[in-house]
Amino acid sequence: MVNRVEMENRIIPYKMLYEAVASTQGLVDGILPAHGIPSLKLGLGHIKSVMEDFIVKAGEGLPIIGHHFSFPTEYLYCFECVPVCIEATSYFLAALLPNGSEPYYDLITNWGHPFHTCSSQKGTMGMTLDDLFKFEAIITPTAPCDNTYASYPFFKYHKNIPLITPDLPFLKAEKSYRYHAEEIKLGLEKLGKVIGQEPNYNKLKQVLEVENQVTNLQMEIFELKKATPCPVENMFNVMAAAAQIYLAGREEKLEFYRQMLEIAKFRYKKKEHHAGEEKIRSIWPYMIVFFDLAMGEWLDRHLGMSILFDIFNYNFADPINTKSDLETLFYGMAKKAMEAPMTKQSAEFYYPFIETCVQLAKDFSADCFIFTSHLGCKQFGSVPQLLREALRDEVGIPMLLIDLDVGDARFASEKIIREKIKLFAQTLL
């Protein structure tokens, strides 16, 4: 007989997340007017119900599988399991808890994890060190960054958690997709053995079909953002990043995007801006600041600055062909994984990243770029100046560079960051 509480206690941080989501949602519902920040209201509602489901499933004894965000969550739904995204958990807690993930960052840093290594892993590593997570297995591609291959061995060698590592080549080429496809397949088979389940590829196909539909909706929203004013509020970027992971492959995700598309279309027709007036159109080619959930809304309201997109909202892979054989399926999965935000930019040279940014600036009439130079991301550590020069020479717009840790306010606080953006905005108006 399964001891439900004991089983649930394998994912204590998810319980914390559930509480945090529920109370934030309560607050949002209580304070905001009926039409206020719809992405936040809708997103939190969906995430809350999915979290609830995860906790129930953990209570029933389903295996807890950790994964890197570069291994798309939906791929794990060929198993009956509770997926836990290592990076998203650190950052979602950073966004929702009063002290963020700081106690867990400190725990693992005191254990020896270098201060400069990515906080997205640091948080969950700290939680695992403290046995708040009990993973049956963890799967991660060998990408997108040094932090990944450096930090994940902790789970294997210190916590003795089986670690499965489908290799992902740092080369954008046809042969890479084929190689990675085989690695994903072998990885899932290996994972199945560890947790005592056969991968159910029919179920996987269904989930991937949901994701294909989501991609179409995402593309429509993306196109609408070309309009002035941008018909989507800044908060959407945060919620989309969260939905990408927590709602992966589920009806809730489709529903979220359908609802957001309707709202965007409505605003587009009325030429309406969520917060009144759009004065500055910005592109954040990299990440937004996760520990300051309210920053997007502040930019909308106080500076009239739209964040047209961050890295999680302008990379779209082709839909995966689910109607053919398994080889085609895995090929599509590999391609999608390699086109995913951050993995794509990490595994190829800088040139396409810079080209994409220049093109986005032109197509979406951007006034400026804001590059959040995240302490962890060494693979992006030598692109900011190249990008700045390209934007200046080819589009004639400036870029603000901010050194920070997107998950830890102690490196650069929200006050400092907001102040920098405010001063930058003044130079634009």
Partner 1 sequence: MSLENDPFLNISYSIINPYIEDWQKSNRKVVGYYCTYIPEELLHAAELIPFRIRATGTKDTDLADIYMVRFTCSFVRATLDLALRGNYDFLDGFLVCNSCDHSRRMFELFNLKVFNRENFNKKVPQFYLALPHVITDEGFEWYKKEVEELKEELEKAYQIKEITNEMLLESINIYNENRKLLRNIHKLRVQEKPKLTGSEFLQINMANSSIPKDIANQELNRIISALKSRKAIDVSNKKRILLVGSIVDDIDFTQLIENSGAFIASDFLCFGTRNFNDDVQLVNYDDPLENITKRLYYRLSCPRMMDDHLRRLDFLKEEINRAKVDGVLLQRINNCDLHGCDNMLFTHELKELDIPVLNIDREFYQSDTTRLQTRIEAFIEMI
Interface residues with partner 1 (CB under 8 A)? 111-114, 116-118, 142-143, 145-154, 156-158, 163, 165, 167-171, 175-176, 179, 182-183, 186, 346, 349-351, 373, 375-376, 378-379, 381-386, 401, 403
Q: Closer CB to ligand SF4, residue 253 or residue 374?
A: 374
- Work out how close the CB of 329 gets to ligand SF4 at its nearest, in angstroms, rounded to a whole number: 26
Put the strands of the sheet holding 137-139 in their side by side order. Answer: 82-85, 64-67, 137-139, 163-164
- Number of residues forming the site for ligand SF4 (CB under 6 A): 11
H, E, C per residue of 309-326: CCHHHCCCCCCCCCCCCH
Q: Quick one: 116 or 193, whose CB is closer to ligand SF4?
A: 116
When CB distances are held under 5 to 8 angstroms depending on the partner's kind, the choice from partner 1, ligand SF4, none that residue 167 binds is partner 1
Query: For ligand SF4, which residue of 145, 191, 240, 383 counts as binding (CB under 6 A)?
Result: 145
Q: Choosing among ligand SF4, partner 1, none, which partner's interface includes residue 307 (Cβ < 5 to 8 Å by kind)?
A: none
Nearer to partner 1, 134 or 156 (CB): 156
User: Locate tokens 């489709």: which residue?
Assistant: 254
CA 367 to chain centroid:
25
For ligand SF4, what does the binding mask look like between residues 148 and 177, x meaning CB under 6 A? x-----------------------------
List the structure tokens of 404: 């920070």
Picking from 420, 425, 369, the residue whose alpha carbon sits closest to that of residue 394 is: 369
Among ligand SF4, partner 1, none, the one that 120 touches (CB under a kind-dependent 5 to 8 A) is ligand SF4
Residue 318 CB, nearest approach to ligand SF4 (Å): 22
Segment (H or E) for 305: strand 305-307
Task: Provide φ and ψ at 64, rounded to 5°.
Answer: -95, 120
144 touches ligand SF4 by CB under 6 A: yes
Q: Which is nearer to ligand SF4, 91 or 135 (CB)?
A: 91
Distance of alpha carbon 132 from alpha carbon 126, whole angstroms: 9
Tokens of 258: 């359908």
CA distances from 397 to 245, 305, 390, 392 (A): 33, 15, 9, 5
Q: Which of 40, 71, 83, 87 binds ligand SF4 (CB under 6 A)?
A: 87
342 binds, among partner 1, ligand SF4, none (CB under 5 to 8 A by kind): ligand SF4
Scanning residues 335 to 394, which ones bind ligand SF4 (CB under 6 A)?
342, 374, 376-377
* Non-local CB neighbours of 381 within 8 Å, separated by 6+ positions: 373
Q: Tell me how far apart the alpha carbons of residues 294 and 36 are, in angstroms, rounded to a whole number.
A: 13
- Choice between 18 and 286, CB closer to ligand SF4: 286
Which strand (E) or helix (H) includes residue 178? helix 174-195
Residues within the interface to ligand SF4 (CB under 6 A):
87, 118, 120, 144-145, 147-148, 342, 374, 376-377
